Amino acid sequence: MGDGLTVLGIETSCDETAVAVVSERPVPTIRANLIRSQLVEHAPYGGVVPEIAARAHLDHLDDLVARALAEADCDLSDLDGVAAASGPGLIGGLIVGSTVAKGLAWASGKPFLAVNHLEAHALAVRLAQPVAFPYLLLLASGGHSQLLVCTGIGRHRQLGTSRDDAAGEAFDKTAKLLGLGYPGGPAIAQAALSGNPRRFPLPRPLKGRPGCDFSFSGLKTAVRQAVAAAGELDAELTADLAAAVEMAICDTLVDRTANALRWFRQHHPEGTTLVAAGGVAANTRLRARLAVLAAEMGLDFVAPPPVLCTDNGAMIAWAGLERLRRGLTDALDAPVRPRWPLDPSDDGAAARPAGRPT
């Protein structure tokens, strides 16, 4: 495989079964990146069913590992480490992926790397291009909406998080209300292309208030009420509501990110970059809005390619490689952690520590 580290990564934290091989030289290179979506399995339920997800991971993971190694033109002896998403996520899927990774690591005598799925999202941008620490991160996905200052590997400070639904969850739930299917983000974005976003005055929860927290449950309620009032949804109404939902979520994310950027510029003047990651960061409208916001504040805006925004094995392999480079390996009895905050001080309930935006 040449000089530099090469790591195999396994992602099974939710409803994608993904395996990738990534090398660091001559530049960070994705040798293989295979993803098997479970959309067909979960679509009838309008969301992810944990037991179905775990069984699908178990059925397909071995084949994906073999195919990824073949596509990367390597075998286990060529690897320098084996990484797996070990949390946060659905415990059944985490157990499947980490157990397979540990078995591969044991069989090959290679280090095992227990990767935080959220840190993998946070570091995915560095696989795509050389973004230096510190940077401000908007992490927006189906399970998480957070604003974090990333100052190094394993060093992340949370400035804000969702008080209820995450942005991606809001997309999924409102898409279901509109009959647009799952996953909601791409479905809403597609329907919104022909819609009038100002026809429905949907709320922007917490917009204009101090701090960096998010809230999206009120938006979901407002959409339900709009659907009930409309009676039967025709194509025009559906498109207009989808456009209104997309704009409301983007407005909210941009507003809260602006607060975080002001704090970031004050406390980390050496930082030059706003990064967006997670599945919601693949949204074209959101990317454009964040790029304008960053430019207004004198910062660069960077987001990974859309394929690296949604859950994938390459980001797990890269996060494992970044950890391996620093000697941060894990024992084969390392536990999976269904809840694993990036900021150790975040207990999910306590008020923000001193120094954070309030």
pLDDT value of residue 335: 96
CA gap 216, 162 in Å, rounded:
8
pLDDT value of residue 353: 30
Distance set, CA 59 to CA 52, 171, 193 (Å): 11, 29, 37
Maximum pairwise Cα distance, the chain? 63
pLDDT value of residue 25: 83
Is-same-fold flag (6-125+308-325; 133-306)?
A: yes
Do 315 and 305 meet the contact criterion of CB atoms below 8 Å apart?
Answer: no
Q: How far apart are the first and last CA of the chain?
A: 49
CA gap 171, 325 in Å, rounded:
37
CA gap 136, 298 in Å, rounded:
13
pLDDT value of residue 181: 82
Torsion (CA) 357, 284, 275, 21 in degrees, nearest 10:
140
Assign domain 133-306 to its CATH architecture.
Answer: 2-Layer Sandwich (3.30)
Strand order across the 6-11 sheet: 29-37, 16-23, 6-11, 81-87, 112-116
* Token representation of residue 340: 């694993």
pLDDT value of residue 3: 65
pLDDT value of residue 334: 97
pLDDT value of residue 13: 94
Question: Which residue in the block uniquely carries the two structure tokens 């701090």?
Answer: 211
For residue 275, what is the DSSP state? E
- DSSP notation for 184-234: HHHHHHHHHTTS-TTSS----TTTTSSSS-B--HHHHHHHHHHHHHH-S--
pLDDT value of residue 350: 33
pLDDT value of residue 38: 78
Instruction: Tally helices (H) and strands (E) across the chain.
Output: 11, 10
Phi, psi of 149 (to 5 degrees): -95, 120
pLDDT value of residue 46: 66
Which CATH code for domain 6-125+308-325?
3.30.420.40
User: Which parts of the chain sit beneath pLDDT 50?
Assistant: 1-2, 348-358
Distance set, CA 204 to CA 221, 296, 347 (Å): 12, 22, 26
pLDDT value of residue 29: 96
Buried b (16+ CB within 10 A) or exposed e, 31-69: bbbbbbebeeebeeeeebbeebbbbbbbebbeebbeebb
Phi-psi region of 208 (alpha: psi -120 to 50; beta: other; left: phi over 0): left
Give tens-digit pLDDT for 255-270: 999 999 999 999 999 9
Q: What is the 3-state secondary structure of 5-19?
A: CEEEEEECCCCEEEE
Angle, CA of 77, 79 and 84, to the nearest 5° = 125
Spell out the domain ranges in the chain. Answer: 6-125+308-325, 133-306
